[in-house]
Amino acid sequence: MLESLDVLADPASDAGRERAAREHVGQVYADAEHRLADLRRTTVRAEELTASLREAMTPPPPG
């Protein structure tokens, strides 16, 4: 990944290396976006579970 970023930052990089670097960075980016979406879904489920547990631990009002 770092090598690809170096290629993209180097104005002297040839077109073939730059194209390959862009493709690699794009693949890493897509994977990172997918993982982030998974983490967001997991966070929502964890928050729902925590809320349910908190509710279960709350004593009912007297009466």
State the DSSP H helix or E strand holding residue 62, giving kind and residue range, or none if neither. Answer: none
Query: What are the pLDDT digits (tens) for 3-59?
Result: 999 999 999 999 999 999 999 999 999 999 999 999 999 999 999 999 999 999 998
Q: Within 10 Å of residue 17's Cβ, how many Cβ atoms? A: 15
Q: Is pLDDT at 63 greater than 90 in this prediction?
A: no
pTM of structure: 0.74
Q: Within 10 Å of residue 7's Cβ, how many Cβ atoms? A: 19
